[in-house]
Chains A and B, each alone.
Chain A
């Protein structure tokens, strides 16, 4: 691949991702409305799709206020961290054979490292806001992160053991006979639960918790800084959906009537829909409940999964 081609791929992926993240504003509002027997935004443009434009313009023209009591530079920096960290995690995702920014041999590890960096934006944003609700949100974000990161990483290790590689392309190619959802169902479910906690989506939006903490860590943010948190959250949904698809649901693999990237996007959008369904249906647990489940239920389950996977692999080898 020439470097010009590579630059085009990088720009193309960036363009598509940012547009998906913006388009999800519309998708989420429409789907949530349908789940609640409403119609949702359907006025601006065909089916209301131009609500995306209206919302973005509104965010750009809102007063971008920095509280005088805030830690100014940290306050400005933290919305950029979440978008940056999530976009960096997309580097290793293969959208189709050859369409990937960097096919690293430590792909999964890179994803885990980068996606957990996003929690810095919550902690720093909440701390820099100098507001007690924001600080509580940041504290919750930090404690939640420690609880789910452990079993999130371990839930992927079963797949790594079966593939023998952390390279994403290898993981996808190893699913030609059977998707890993069939051989690693427990790992898939636990990774998805961890993914919800990772993106701070309902039901695990404990750092935000608008009914308890107003808006948690971004209570003091306005204008496009708030918009960056928003985009970061939607990028996070897309990231976790894309990871679910790549690692457990065969990535770009599928019958030939759709192109490889077509299969990838169809599967990803199914998972994005699942994220929105979760938001529409499940209530938020208490934060100590989530942490308790994480340490007392998910971690033993994941360890048992690893043990059984290892035992079966050894049995098959002999």
Chain B
């Protein structure tokens, strides 16, 4: 019986506590840099698209909300012909970001993307691409890749040896 009265008193004291509620539209919630919100496609330091159209994000997506079609330009650089994310399906799990080998697809701290029509939640490539390098500034996939896609010549990349002349007998 006494413990009941003590419980009631302690609950009563909660009237005067600071409230945990954040009154959202007036007061914004603090989002940390690694918050998993809206998905974007980032660019490399030279302004080119980072995405190489490897489909790993589409494979990793547990709800199948990513669709893309890879293609190549005349210099052999791969890029997505279209890249479509259906945000009415997306669960913001971030598996696509983990799967991406070129840091192209990233989740950013923004969740305010409500729409009145469902179709408006389907984002095309021009909606997803941003003019920023996102969380990994300075990274350019084609600078460290072994291939020549118009960014650098073969064998001139970082930590890369010049190509071996396979017709020569000398080591």
* A interface residues with partner B (beta carbon < 8 Å): 34-39, 42, 277-278, 280-282
Cβ contact within 8 Å between B17 and A281? no
Where chain B touches its partner, the secondary structure class is helix
Q: Does B32 reach chain A (CB closer than 8 Å)?
A: no
- How many residues of chain B get a CB closer than 8 Å to chain A's CBs? 14
The count of A-to-B residue pairs whose CB atoms sit within 8 angstroms is: 34
Q: Does B116 reach chain A (CB closer than 8 Å)?
A: no
Partner of A280, one of B4, B11, B17, B19: B11
Cβ contact within 8 Å between B23 and A35? no
Cβ contact within 8 Å between A39 and B21? yes
User: Given A35-B11, A35-B12, A35-B15, are A282 and B20 also a contact pair (CB < 8 Å)?
Assistant: no
- Chain A minimum-CB-distance residue to B17: A37
Cβ contact within 8 Å between A282 and B12? no
Bitwise interface map of B from 73 to 84 toward A, beta carbon under 8 Å scored 1, else 0: 000000000000
Cβ contact within 8 Å between A281 and B8? yes
What's the minimum C-beta distance from A58 to chain B, rounded to whole angstroms? 22
Partner of B12, one of A36, A38, A39, A277: A277
Which residues of A lie under 8 Å from residue B10 when comparing CB positions?
281
Q: Which B1-33 residues sit within 8 Å CB-CB of chain A? A: 4, 7-8, 10-12, 14-15, 17-21, 23
Which residues of B lie under 8 Å from residue A39 when comparing CB positions?
19, 21, 23
Cβ contact within 8 Å between A277 and B14? no
Which residues of B lie under 8 Å from residue A37 when comparing CB positions?
14, 17-20
Report the bound CA distance from A164 to B7 in whole Å: 38
7 smallest CB-CB distances across A and B, nearest first, come from A281-B11, A39-B21, A281-B8, A281-B7, A37-B20, A35-B14, A34-B15
28 A-B residue contacts at CB 8 Å?
A34-B14, A34-B15, A34-B19, A35-B11, A35-B12, A36-B14, A37-B14, A37-B18, A37-B19, A37-B20, A38-B19, A38-B21, A39-B19, A39-B21, A39-B23, A42-B23, A277-B8, A277-B11, A277-B12, A278-B8, A280-B11, A281-B4, A281-B7, A281-B11, A281-B12, A282-B4, A282-B7, A282-B8
